Amino acid sequence: MLDLKFLRKEYQQVATMLKNRCSEIDIASFISLDEERRKALAHIEELKAKKNIVSQTIAQRKRESMPTEELFVQAEELGVQIASLEGEVKTLVQSVEDFVSMLPNMLHSSVPIGKDESENIVERVIGSPREFSFSPKAHWELSCRDGHFDFEKASKLAGSRFSVLWGQFAKLERAIGQFCLDIQIEHHKHIEIAPPFIVNRTTLFGTGQLPKFEDDLFRIEESEYYLIPTAEVPLTNLYANELIEEKNLPLQYVALTPCFRSEAGSYGKDTKGLIRQHQFMKVEMVHFAHPESSYEQLDKMVSFTEYLLSLLELPYRVVSLCSGDTGFSAAKTYDIEVWIPSQNAYREISSCSNCEDFQARRANIRYVSQNGKKQFVHTLNGSGLPLGRTLVALLENYQEEDGSIRIPRVLQSYMGTDLLRA
């Protein structure tokens, strides 16, 4: 959430940010609402001052045994006007808060200006796509002796955009999750968390999913609970309404959880396979950082994801998202995209974002500096990695002409084999 003082003082900067994000929100609405609220508050203070004078006059007249009936009527009328205005102010304050809650984060100065993903900037490309001597199959076409995908049974059980993994495919997905956790914990010093998979509205507000993105969430009927869209939500809110000691920063957490997304607005996109599912597993990193070093943490988080992909020997590239493609809560985002042979394209496998103090303001997460001053921390989040999309990349990049699938060296100990046979 943006600071109200900043909004009032730098509303032109906010207007520019909204334009660069291709947002239709008009900051003039905030200025109008806020001005109306401030005028109403000033009027209330004037009326209270008048009522105070009337009350003093009543007290004086009583001491002098003079009539006070007319003054009592004035006092009652002023009280009614004050109560009515206070009701209006309460409504205006709520309107201002609602408006501000829908404003996206300010963009870091290094974010390239652009309207959509076509104007993202490729920072670096690592590895070369494999040259196949045969036409590679899409992942949903692949199967082996002891494993395959089953979308028909998933449709019977739950509907579209779900999957059932059988045998070795299920084991390979589990191996990916354990491998990613092990690296993030043992090599990159994250603390593992096992959070709830169901959270309340306040928690979702804290990270920016509510109120703007309610249609993207799965809500439990007749309750205020939702299934998590990512572990970022519970992990970031671990310190909601709490103070962190400055000496403990940065804090690095990781979790492997299911993620649930309605995929509202994505109908017709990636309808086949595992790329865009209602339910998937993901290893998520969340960091709490000092404002002076949060961009160092962002670079570190990106490097953590790159390290995983390098160990898996998958070709990938790092992309800096432009203003029109940067997420609501993020000040700056890097996408890491992995090569998918069947699509002859790079596809997103991880996003790493610095939200600066945007989420910390919404969730009231602060740190206490050594001089005792309380300030908002910076929060960061990144995928490291989603199991389904990583499985897709492995199956497609490691497939052989006879239908067998090689296992990357770093996963062989988890799988107990170096090959899934056709």
Shortest CA distance to 166 belongs to which of 151, 144, 148, 139? 148
Active site residue 24: no
Active site residue 348: yes
The single residue of 174, 201, 276, 317 carrying the catalytic annotation is 276
Cα-Cα-Cα-Cα torsion 41, 44, 49, 53, nearest 10 degrees, comes to: 180
Residues with Cβ within 8 Å of residue 71, at least 6 apart in sequence: 54, 57, 58, 61
Q: Is the dihedral of CA 363, 367, 373, 376 positive or negative?
A: negative
Q: Which two tokens stand for residue 50?
A: 């008048």
The single residue of 10, 36, 214, 348 carrying the catalytic annotation is 348
Active site residue 145: no
The single residue of 351, 353, 383, 396 carrying the catalytic annotation is 351
Q: Give yes or no for a contact between 281 and 165, defined as CB atoms under 8 angstroms apart.
A: no
Residues with Cβ within 8 Å of residue 103, at least 6 apart in sequence: 1, 2, 7, 14, 18, 25, 30
Active site residue 61: no
Active site residue 296: no
Main-chain phi, psi angles of 338, to 5 degrees: -105, 150
Q: In Å, what is the CA distance from 221 to each residue of 215, 225, 250, 257?
A: 14, 8, 38, 22
Radius of gyration of the chain (CA): 28
Distance CA 293, CA 310 (A): 26
Peptide bond before residue 250 is cis, with ω within 30 degrees of 0:
yes
Shortest CA distance to 1 belongs to which of 302, 365, 414? 365
The single residue of 261, 361, 362, 366 carrying the catalytic annotation is 261
Shortest CA distance to 316 belongs to which of 294, 284, 288, 349? 349
Shortest CA distance to 89 belongs to which of 28, 38, 46, 30? 38
Catalytically active residues are 261, 276, 348, 351, 389
